[in-house]
Every structure is written in C-alpha cells, then in structure tokens.
Amino acid sequence: MPMIDMPDFAGELLDEFRARRTSRVNTPVIQPAEPFLDMAGEDLRRRIFLTESETGASLCLRPEFTIPVCLRHIETATGTPKRYSYLGEVFRQRREGANEFYQAGIEDLGDTDIAAADARAVSDAIGILTRLLPGRKLTVTLGDQQVFEAVVAALGLPLGWQKRLVQAFGDIAQLEALLQSLVSPKPMTGLDARVAGLLATGEEKVLVDYIDSVMEDTGYSTNASRSPQEIARRLREKLALAATRLPDESFELLKQFLSLQAPLSQASQTLAEFADKAKLKLQAALSAFDARVAALANGGVDLDTITYGAAFGRPLDYYTGLVFEVSVQGEGAVLAGGGRFDRLMTLLGAKDKIPAVGFSLWLDRIEAVRAKP
C-alpha cells in the first residue's frame, strides 16, 4: 500500500499515457543496488537508501524508474520498438521535500529514428505538462552530450581524460576543476615510495609482484578486489593522466564551447560557426543535432521556447546524447527531465544494442505549482 497519497491529477496523467500508446508497467520497490551504484551517477548514488538481502546481496529502495524499466524489458525478452509508461513511488534522500514521492514518465526503447524519438520525448513532456498546468508558460533547457563528447575528442585528449570530462558533463564546478588540473597538472601524491619508484622505472613484473605481496600481507583477496595486474595498469594510467597538459589554445576552445547558449532556432548555426572557427571536425554530432531540431520543428514545437546550452547536462551517468529539462517560467523547480541513454541497455545485459530515450515527471513539484493561484 502506498504511504503517500496519489496526486489528484493521476487520472489525467494516465489518460495522456494512453493517448500516446504506451504500455503501463510497474517494477518492484526493492531493487538490486548494483546497477544504480554503477551507472546512475554520483549525485544519485549519494541519495540511495541501501539495504541487504538475507544472503548479503546489496539492495535498495527504488530511487528512479529508468533502470528498473530497462531491466524488466530485458528480463521479459519483449521485442522493440516499445513505449513504456510508469507511475509510482521513488525513494531518495533530498535536501528539500519528502524522501518518498511519486514519479511518472515514458521510456521509448528501440526506435531507430533517433531524431524523431528525441523530438517525441521533448514534445510529450511539454504536452503533458501543458495539460496538467493550463495557462502556465513553460521553459525548456536542452543540451547534447554527444556534441560535447565530439568536441572533447576533436581536441585530441587521451581517452582517460575524455572519460573524466564526459562523466563531469553538466556539473560546471567539476568541469572547471578538471580543466584547471589539465592546464596546471600536479604530480600524483600519496603513493607508496616503492610503487612510485617502480612506476618511474617501468619495471612492470617487479611492480605487479610487489603489489601482490602487499595485498597478501594486508589480507586483501584478489577474488574480492582488483588483481595486482589491474591495479598496476590503473596506476600507470593515473600517472600518465596526471602528466597530461592541455594546451592553452585547446583550453580556450573548451571554455568558448561551454559558454555557448542560444534559442534552439539559432543553435545549429551557433554550433556550426563555432566548429568552423575552431577548425574542429564535428560533422557527425552536428548532423544528428540538426536532425533533432528539424524533427522538433516539424512536430510543431516552438523552437524559440527552448534554450540550448552547450554546458547543460543532467546528473546521471547513463545519458549519451539529448538531455533536457522543463520548468515553469520564473520558477526554478524542474518539473520534467530526461534524455537519451543508448548505452544503458547493453550495460544492463541486453544482447543487442537498443536505442533508448525517455523522461520523468516530478509529481510533487507539479502538484505544488497547481496549488498556486
């Protein structure tokens, strides 16, 4: 039984889901914790309510629906394309508001027309909120992780640094700290003197044997942790990354890119001008971006009501392309948010690559807006 009351507009919401030909799905409140800890991102990881099964398996109260819906799709071996909708409680620690609240949303799995599916997700979120909040002016902020990844790759950074920057996408403070460490690299500290010496001389076998002996002496099981070879490899990677310096020109280009902001009607031109001036090859990412803009326009969405921000992202690690949020103009609360997560299905165990996009609605926040005069 639910511990909190269902919002009074739940019926309208379910009508909207039916009109969009989605299949309503529910998932267990108790979920395996590992997928969320591995794939959801640092912000959500800090807020999860963890517990254990009788056998010691790590479990958690359902903190969101995207991962559970995807796991259910894989377990039931349902074919694609498939559109799921959900409405239920989620549990996460929050600075403001209850730790238990309702979320609803749509997950669109398997549509290979990426631009059309992206446009549909944004359009559906706007359409549903327009019905639930008649007369309220909505604002949409849109970003694109694929474009950011293309810019970072075009600058020729080592793959390790590319991964770090991509994981920080959307967190301006973290991105700035990483960029500063790239401009002014600092040597690794805190290393065992013996390990530091072996890394410097490149004596691989001696390093692995030494790590193995330390693990044995301190009681670490190689079955329960990384192997000595893996630890040695990661230490070499960290040493190489710590010594990497981003040229001043590349640093300025990244700063310029992250400062880009424009109405979506002008965003394609803004990005094309940046790529041309910076002499960066971004054709594939920009072509996909342009196709989405065209699909939104063809679907009747007013592009001037959407703001593109090059630095805009969302705090979940599984996003791969489109990211967006919807609010009421003049108010800070995010009422809907979502994006594309094409890698998530295979990471969760799907045998084939399944393109995916979706969004969630924060029902307690929508209820608060509806209560205002």
Annotated binding residue at 318? yes
Annotated binding residue at 314? yes
- Name 18's Cβ contacts closer than 8 Å, sequence gap at least 6: none
* Nearest-angstrom CA–CA distance, 364 and 97: 9
Q: Give backbone dihedrals phi and psi of 165, rounded to 5 degrees, phi first.
A: -65, -40
Annotated binding residue at 269? no
Annotated binding residue at 65? yes
Annotated binding residue at 86? no
Annotated binding residue at 64? yes
Residue 310 near residue 36, CB atoms below 8 Å: no
Binding annotation for L-histidine: 64-66, 92, 103, 107, 314, 318-319
Known binding site: residues? Answer: 64-66, 92, 103, 107, 314, 318-319
